[in-house]
A and B are shown apart, each in its own frame.
Chain A
Amino acid sequence: MAGILIKNAFVIDPLSGIKGEVMDIAINNGKIVEEAPSGAEVIDAAGCLTLPGGIDSHSHVCGTKVNFGRYMSPEDMRAGRTARKGVMHVTSGYSVPTTFGNSYRYSTMGYTTILEGAMAPLEARHTHEEFTATPHQDMLANTLFDGNWSIMEAVREKDTRRAAAVVAWVLAAAKGFAIKLTNPGGTEAWGWGEDVQSVHDPVPKFGVTPAEIISTMIRANEILNLPHSVHLHCNNLGVPGNYQTTLDTIDLAPDLNSERQSLYLTHVQFHSYGGSTWRDICSKSEDITRAVNNRPQVVMDMGQIMFGRTTTMTADGPMEFKLYMLHHNKWSNHDVELETGSGIIPVYYGRKSLVNCVMWSIGLELALLTRNPWQCLLSTDSPNGAPFVKYPEIIALLMSRRFRENERRMIDPRTEHFVPLFAIERELDWYEIAVMTRAAQAKALGITRIGKGYLAPGAEADVAIFPLRPDNVDPSVDYQQVMAGFSRTRYTIKRGRVVARDGEVVVEGANSTIWTKAHVPDAYDMGLDPEFRKKFEQYYTVRMTNYPVQDVYLPRGVRIETEAQL
């Protein structure tokens, strides 16, 4: 593979401390190097914004529930059709596109790494198969532990070490990356038609509370030295007045790791509602961001909603049922044996709906009120808040107060009585956007150790060159240009190869799937544990020997190995 030399690039690389310098980047053998080899292809970036490849730290792009979203929404599949062109396959779908659709659209926006937000371990094979068909991004899978019986039993016995051992076994079996808790306890309670209302509500039949599950899992995560922290979708998603639950959850987070956060809160917009009913719902983003500003051990992502049609999908079954009771349209709920559940509902977020306008404002407020951009990452919880193709619009909204004021005229005029958004003057700059879309993600996920998220020599050569010249674009005025620029890179380089150019994908991809293997002593090998084995014999529909995902499902797996402190 010949190298590449990118000349005259306006580089912002927060992890290496580069805040905007015109410089050259040399690439050889898929890595950033000091000097390009002779005969390297020269790309003249001509002063254009050059960032490390984008990283999405929470998106739903692959797996059984995404696929179910596809086949329950024929109207979505009719949207966004593109024909076969060059190496590009046919694609279709808007909020739940085909896997190639996801991959191409992410790639043309400069994204090279995606974390799938929720993978049920039992259904991991399907997720990995779809990863293979998402060829232009390296993929990671958050693995669901929110309703795992073995975990809840360990929590009941206050045995953090056993919980850690279960996590290690399941992550290795499902080839997952990190711990995801979705409405911890609530999804399991939903199996009995109940839900949990606060972090101190006991889960029926198990007698543990969400707070105990969260605290135990945070500690288990650190025992295993996993690269990422616990990735938490709080209880009470989308319920007016739920901000109190979120604050209680933030209070649970100890500061255990000096490298990164100890708790990652995802799509916090959905968890920052005040009021008591849908009629008096209001923004509590100020309370939430105050708590986050005071706790460097917590990182969150926005979970911004954008107006338009989309599909909600989550492992939070009870919440999706509540949503169904509002919409009375098609819906699905699903239970995954001893592990978790899920639900899917297509929705429409309208500018005429006050509730939706308040939600839209909250997401932006979270990003604007969090002082440290490393603590609030850009996401839409794609496709729950909006499909990821809306990211450029969100970037423009964050960078331009004028754009926000223009939007204000289009939305429900009562909105300003319920939200502080329009009093916020802050406009993010290029550096902060670079942090919120790649560097902070790499740090939060702990994948800088495998060379992700920065451009110093030794890093993976994932680079995005946008057709934007920071020296002559004023983002607070030229927000349309910012939006267009972030929608379509001039070049997206993935592992040293140009994969997309001016909105078109030019090569067949070859991604890798990153997963974690925590080495535990034999005494903690759950594969040998009689109690754990019994779960498979008595309850699961599969045998323990058939449960682990075989290596053949990960043609290009990258294993991150850690040593557990057990």
Chain B
Amino acid sequence: MRVILKTRPREKPRVPIEAEEIIPQNFLRKDDITVFLGNKERSLDDLFFVTIEGPAVSPDQVEVVLTGDTGVIKRVGEYMNAGRIIIEGDIGMHCGNFMSAGEIIIRGNADSWLGREMRGGRILCEGNAGHYCAAGYRGEKRGMRGGMVEVKGNAGDFAAEYLSGGEVVIHGNCGDLAGVEMRGGTLVIGGDCARPCGNMTGGTCMVFGKASQFLPTFRANGSQEVEYAGKRYRMNLFRGDVANRGKGTLMVRA
């Protein structure tokens, strides 16, 4: 089944839409999906041109396509556990929160909190991601626990904060404090970043660009060759964060 949701023109296009109900399993189960426009509850038909093609017997066979002015839509794919969502443009905050399986593909940019605390599945963002990409929410001590997030562009500050499982790959640059409080999992940064991995206690972070303002609380631990994007790089190894008795591994291109 393929569900195509095209945004209708709106009088106030900047009012955000909260759409945690837009997940593949819901399109099988119910037909009264609602979303919030500001503080008003609206049916899906009020805000989108909905086209449904073909049948499906399980959520795995459901593909949701979002097109139009999608940059203000928040919480798409929250708690999704199967199927696929394709977003043809940008997407708002909290896309893919807590998802446990399935796939989200974003052709444009993603706003903050992309894939926050996700448990499994895969998110591919072909543009840039905002702050707190694949992080834990404020007050949460375990962020992403499984699955994979891949960002082709850059990510903002606090990427993969509290990462405790799964893999985060950011091909571009990261902002400040990437991978802080990491407990497990793998973070790969193709470009530059600043102050990576403060307070990390576990997991592996690789930086293939430049790590500026490198924290003094990491202990040098030799070097190693690692393959990334089809090339082999020599990496300096560090253990830390020593200030937190951490046993994480931070690698920076030599």
B12 within 8 A of A: no
Q: Mark A50-73, 1 if CB is under 8 A from B, else 0.
A: 000000000000000000000111
Chain B residues numbered 138-161 whose CB sits less than 8 Å from any CB in chain A:
138-141
B137 within 8 A of A: yes
Min CB–CB distance A206 → chain B (angstroms): 35
Bound: A503/B209 CA distance, A: 59
Please indicate the chain B residues that have their CB under 8 angstroms from the CB of A535 in the complex: none
- 12 chain-A/chain-B pairs, Cβ below 8 angstroms: A71-B138, A71-B139, A72-B139, A73-B139, A74-B137, A74-B138, A74-B139, A74-B140, A75-B140, A329-B141, A330-B139, A330-B141
Bound: A72/B137 CA distance, A: 10
Sample of 9 more A-B contacts, CB < 8 Å, known A71-B138, A71-B139: A72-B139, A73-B139, A74-B137, A74-B139, A74-B140, A75-B140, A329-B141, A330-B139, A330-B141
Interface size class of B (residues with CB under 8 A): under 10
Please indicate the chain A residues that have their CB under 8 angstroms from the CB of B139 in the complex: 71-74, 330
Bound: A491/B137 CA distance, A: 40
Please indicate the chain A residues that have their CB under 8 angstroms from the CB of B140 in the complex: 74-75
Tell me the B residues contacting A by CB distance below 8 Å: 137-141
8 pairs of A and B residues whose beta carbons are closest in the complex: A72-B139, A74-B137, A74-B139, A330-B141, A329-B141, A74-B140, A73-B139, A71-B139
| Residue of A71, A73, A75, A330 with most chain B CB atoms under a 10 A cut-off | A75
Please indicate the chain B residues that have their CB under 8 angstroms from the CB of A72 in the complex: 139
Bound: A74/B143 CA distance, A: 12
Output the nearest chain A residue to B201 by Cβ-Cβ distance.
Answer: A328
Bound: A75/B139 CA distance, A: 9
Chain A residues numbered 315-340 whose CB sits less than 8 Å from any CB in chain B:
329-330
Min CB–CB distance B86 → chain A (angstroms): 27
Min CB–CB distance A75 → chain B (angstroms): 7
Bound: A73/B138 CA distance, A: 8
Q: Mark A263-304, 1 if CB is under 8 A from B, else 0.
A: 000000000000000000000000000000000000000000
Output the nearest chain A residue to B137 by Cβ-Cβ distance.
Answer: A74
Please indicate the chain A residues that have their CB under 8 angstroms from the CB of B141 in the complex: 329-330
Chain A residues numbered 26-72 whose CB sits less than 8 Å from any CB in chain B:
71-72
Min CB–CB distance A20 → chain B (angstroms): 47
Please indicate the chain B residues that have their CB under 8 angstroms from the CB of A71 in the complex: 138-139
| Residue of B137, B138, B139 with most chain A CB atoms under a 10 A cut-off | B139
Output the nearest chain B residue to A75 by Cβ-Cβ distance.
Answer: B140
Chain A residues numbered 75-90 whose CB sits less than 8 Å from any CB in chain B:
75
Bound: A562/B141 CA distance, A: 49
Chain A residues numbered 445-501 whose CB sits less than 8 Å from any CB in chain B:
none
Bound: A72/B141 CA distance, A: 10
Please indicate the chain A residues that have their CB under 8 angstroms from the CB of B137 in the complex: 74
Min CB–CB distance B63 → chain A (angstroms): 28
Please indicate the chain B residues that have their CB under 8 angstroms from the CB of A73 in the complex: 139
Min CB–CB distance B71 → chain A (angstroms): 25
Min CB–CB distance B147 → chain A (angstroms): 19
Please indicate the chain B residues that have their CB under 8 angstroms from the CB of A75 in the complex: 140
Bound: A538/B141 CA distance, A: 39
Min CB–CB distance A88 → chain B (angstroms): 16
Q: Mark A495-535, 1 if CB is under 8 A from B, else 0.
A: 00000000000000000000000000000000000000000
Bound: A74/B138 CA distance, A: 7
Bound: A365/B138 CA distance, A: 40
Min CB–CB distance B47 → chain A (angstroms): 19
Min CB–CB distance B138 → chain A (angstroms): 6
Please indicate the chain B residues that have their CB under 8 angstroms from the CB of A74 in the complex: 137-140
Min CB–CB distance A469 → chain B (angstroms): 39
Bound: A329/B141 CA distance, A: 7
Bound: A330/B143 CA distance, A: 13
Please indicate the chain B residues that have their CB under 8 angstroms from the CB of A330 in the complex: 139, 141
Bound: A32/B140 CA distance, A: 49
Min CB–CB distance B143 → chain A (angstroms): 12
Min CB–CB distance B113 → chain A (angstroms): 12
Output the nearest chain B residue to A72 by Cβ-Cβ distance.
Answer: B139
